[in-house]
């Protein structure tokens, strides 16, 4: 008869499952991963994960939630370090660098958030997904209010995000092979986005 794990041991087990699962989901995609393989990598029986997760989808959601939490914490730390008098345009620039920084330091977490999907329908957007989005949205709103840029706030913020995400996705896929690297493109991209706006 197996002994009951302490709360700390359960948390440690869950953390190990998430660590292993994110690697498998990113490398193989959701459909190719099995709980049996996750258990084998963790070093437990095939049935042990079922004591803490109902199914693979629940593991996937836990992993993605944990990745978004790390991203949110990363953004919060960066924003907390901004100079109090930093204007909205410079905040947008700083947030762009922050976004790229996380993608480079935590590539698996980044890809888990934005590239890996499961076929089953999800419940939509969670507050955890939005937390890293709010600082960019706020900086864009402030820039529009100050007259520094013009346009619909939500649309502009999406364009900033989409441009940066595109560079990161190409970098992660090894597709930046035409003479420019991600480092070469970050600042010019920010310049183009901000100076190209009316």
Question: Domain residue spans in the chain?
Answer: 7-195
pLDDT for 1 equals 41
- How many beta carbons lie within 10 A of that of residue 59, not counting itself? 24
pLDDT in tens, 16-50: 999 999 999 999 999 999 999 999 999 999 999 99
Q: Which whole number is the average pLDDT over 144-154?
A: 93
User: Mean pLDDT of all residues in the chain?
Assistant: 89
Confidence of residue 124 (pLDDT cuts 50, 70, 90): low
Q: Which whole number is the average pLDDT over 155-174?
A: 93
138-145: long-range pairs with CB below 8 Å, 24+? 139/88, 139/91, 139/92, 139/95, 140/88, 140/92, 142/88, 142/91, 143/88, 143/89, 143/92
Architecture in CATH for domain 7-195: Orthogonal Bundle (1.10)
- How many beta carbons lie within 10 A of that of residue 131, not counting itself? 16
């Amino acid at each position: 008869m197996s002994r009951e794990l302490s709360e700390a041991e359960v948390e440690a087990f869950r953390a190990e499952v998430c660590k292993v699962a994110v690697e498998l989901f990113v490398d193989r995609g959701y459909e190719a991963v099995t709980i049996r393989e996750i258990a084998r990598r963790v070093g437990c029986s095939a049935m042990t994960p079922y004591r803490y997760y109902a199914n693979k989808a629940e593991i996937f959601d836990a992993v993605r939630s944990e990745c978004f939490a790390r991203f949110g914490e990363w953004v919060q730390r960066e924003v907390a370090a901004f100079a109090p008098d930093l204007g909205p345009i410079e905040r947008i620039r700083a947030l762009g660098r922050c976004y790229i920084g996380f993608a480079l330091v935590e590539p698996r977490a980044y890809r888990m958030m934005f590239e890996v999907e499961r076929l089953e329908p999800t419940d939509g957007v969670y507050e955890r997904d939005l937390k890293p989005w709010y600082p960019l949205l706020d900086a864009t709103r402030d820039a529009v209010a100050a007259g520094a840029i013009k346009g619909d706030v939500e649309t502009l913020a999406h364009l900033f995000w989409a441009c940066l995400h595109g560079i990161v996705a190409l970098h992660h896929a090894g597709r930046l092979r035409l003479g420019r690297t991600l480092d070469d493109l970050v600042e010019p991209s920010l310049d183009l986005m901000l100076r190209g706006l009316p």
